[in-house]
């Protein structure tokens, strides 16, 4: 089976998704053909209608933003929606330019993609429900396939977690530095936690000065995959106060590395983190709830270890590349057989 993965460069989670889907299918012995186009073409996706798929293509998979442009005769088209920007919970975090683009262009692009698609996939039930409500799509016509991570790469520290006795608790935040991700809550949470706790966070050049006034918050800058894995392993807890996620790679990667997660009880995060088992879910924007959750986890003997082990097992069972790839392969074969 030949799969075509055409996409416009996003420099975001969507690009990571394409790479990981390709890796997962390769584990099953299937090769894919990727076609990356300029990020600018997301504003003019109809220009991609003339692109020819690779010879032998049996299925095409694309995002909702430009998917309709890749519909070809006798080739089933799978459309993937990573998160719905028209969800009422997402709207407060759009800037003016995004609002204009979304409402006057993207809404039409996505509607066209849903209309031409042979199958629609979302990475969470939350996103599926959001699509159903916003676009009136029958929930039975949406397939939920959770994203996967490389569970052979994201693994716990071989020597085990370092004891927290006699040292400060190490927290980690991974993600872009946006209000949607709850970045504004981090200094408030750390202020409540005090100097017995320290937070390390990822980011670019702007990140170095973001919390320079707060002594228990430290910038890690941009990290390689290996460096990021090392930080997941070193962290006692992933602190992730996001206000909206279509899936949530960081919590899954952290759990795969044996690190518990303290995150928000909202959007898809309730599907990713098992409250009280692999992490703690807190009310959105509730700084006190987040600080109390962190304290409670670190004050109960062995709680971090048992919760980290549970998270590692949970990811291996539900969010591996192999699990994701098998579900996609089942969908692809179903579409191919029905098109004959």
Torsion sign, CA atoms 32, 38, 42, 45: negative
Mention every residue, 6+ apart, whose C-beta is less than 8 A from residue 203: 176, 177, 210, 219, 220, 221, 222
pLDDT of residue 312: 98
> What was the pLDDT predicted at 44?
94
Position 205 pLDDT exceeds 60:
no
pLDDT at 10 over 60: yes
Across the range 312-333, mean pLDDT stands at 97
| Residue among 189, 205, 203, 284 at smallest CA distance from 239 | 189
Describe the crossing of helices 186-193 and 287-299 by its angle, rounded to 10 degrees: 50
Q: pLDDT: is 276 or 31 the higher one? A: 276
- For the 3-148+320-338 domain, the top CATH level (class) is alpha beta
Look at residue 290 and tell me whether its pLDDT is greater than 60: yes
Which pLDDT does position 9 carry in this prediction?
A: 76
Give the mean model confidence (pLDDT) for residues 140-159.
96
- What span, in angstroms and rounded, lies between the C-alpha atoms of 160 and 301? 16
Interval 185-198: pLDDT, tens = 999 999 999 999 99
Strand partners, 169: 197
Whether residue 78 contacts residue 37, with contact meaning beta carbons closer than 8 Å, is answered with: no
Q: Centre a 10 Å sphere on the Cβ of residue 220 and count the other Cβ atoms it contains.
A: 17
Domain locations in the chain? 3-148+320-338, 169-318
User: 258's torsion region: left (phi>0), alpha (psi -120 to 50) or beta?
Assistant: left
Q: Is 3-148+320-338's fold the same as 169-318's?
A: yes
**Buried residues in 39-55 as b, exposed as e (16+ CB within 10 A):** eebbeebeebeeeebee
Decide: 76 and 119 in contact? Cβ < 8 Å.
Answer: yes
- In this predicted structure, what is the pLDDT of residue 214? 86
What count of other Cβ atoms lies within 10 Å of the Cβ of residue 309? 16
Cβ atoms of 37 and 7 within 8 Å: the answer is yes
**Is 92's pLDDT higher than 80?**
yes
> What are the structure tokens assigned to 138, written together?
């029958």
| pLDDT above 80 for 11 | no
Q: How confident is the model at residue 209 (pLDDT cuts 50, 70, 90)?
A: low
Strand order, beta sheet including 59-63: 32-37, 3-8, 59-63, 77-80, 119-122, 142-144
Q: What is the pLDDT of residue 39?
A: 86
Is pLDDT of 14 > 90? no
- What is the pLDDT, as a whole number, of residue 162? 82
What integer pLDDT is reported at residue 252 of this predicted model? 98
Query: Would you place residue 318 in the very low, low, confident or very high pLDDT band (cuts 50, 70, 90)?
Result: very high
Q: What is the mean pLDDT of residues 187-212?
A: 85
Pseudo-torsion of CA 182, 249, 122, 29, nearest 10°? Answer: 170
229 contact partners, CB below 8 Å, separation of at least 6: 153, 154, 155, 253, 257
Helix H or strand E segment including 212: none
- How confident is the model at residue 13, as a pLDDT? 67
Q: Which of 175, 195, 206, 158 is nearest to 269 (CA)?
A: 175
If pLDDT is split at 50, 70 and 90, which confidence band does 206 have? Answer: low
Instruction: Check pLDDT > 80 for residue 121.
Output: yes
Q: Is 1 a residue whose pLDDT tops 80? A: no
Match 């109390």 to its residue by tokens: 292
Q: Which residues contact 130 (CB under 8 A, 6 or more apart)?
A: 83, 84, 86, 87
Fold of 169-318: Rossmann fold (3.40.50)
């Amino acid at each position: 089976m030949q799969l075509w993965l055409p996409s416009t460069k996003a420099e975001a989670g969507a690009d990571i998704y394409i790479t990981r889907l390709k890796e997962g299918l390769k584990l099953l012995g299937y090769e894919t053909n990727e076609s990356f186009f300029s990020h600018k073409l997301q504003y003019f996706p109809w220009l991609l209608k003339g692109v020819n798929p690779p010879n032998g293509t049996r299925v095409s998979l694309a995002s909702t933003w430009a998917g309709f442009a890749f519909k070809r005769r006798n080739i089933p088209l799978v459309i993937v929606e990573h998160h719905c920007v028209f969800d009422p919970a997402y709207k407060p975090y759009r800037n003016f330019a995004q609002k204009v683009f979304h409402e006057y262009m993207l809404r039409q692009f996505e509607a066209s993609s849903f209309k031409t698609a042979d199958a629609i996939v979302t990475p969470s039930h939350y996103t599926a429900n959001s699509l159903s409500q916003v676009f009136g799509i029958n929930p039975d016509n949406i397939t939920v396939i959770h994203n996967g991570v490389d569970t052979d790469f994201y693994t716990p520290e071989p020597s085990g977690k370092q004891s927290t006795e006699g040292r400060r608790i190490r927290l980690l935040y991974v993600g872009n530095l946006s209000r949607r991700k709850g970045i504004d809550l981090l200094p408030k949470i750390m202020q409540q936690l005090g100097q017995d706790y320290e937070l390390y966070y990822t980011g670019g050049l702007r990140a170095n000065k973001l919390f320079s006034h707060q002594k228990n918050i430290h910038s890690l800058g941009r990290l390689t995959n290996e460096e990021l894995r090392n930080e997941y392993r070193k962290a006692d807890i992933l602190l992730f106060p996001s206000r909206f996620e279509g899936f949530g790679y960081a919590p899954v990667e952290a759990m795969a590395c044996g690190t518990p997660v303290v995150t928000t009880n909202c959007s898809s995060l309730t599907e990713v983190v098992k409250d009280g088992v692999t992490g703690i879910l807190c009310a959105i924007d509730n700084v006190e709830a987040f600080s109390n959750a962190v304290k409670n986890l670190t004050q109960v003997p062995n709680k971090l270890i048992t919760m980290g082990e549970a998270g590692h097992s949970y990811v291996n069972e539900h969010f591996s590349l192999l699990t994701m790839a098998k579900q996609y392969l089942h969908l692809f074969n179903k579409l191919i057989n029905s098109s004959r």
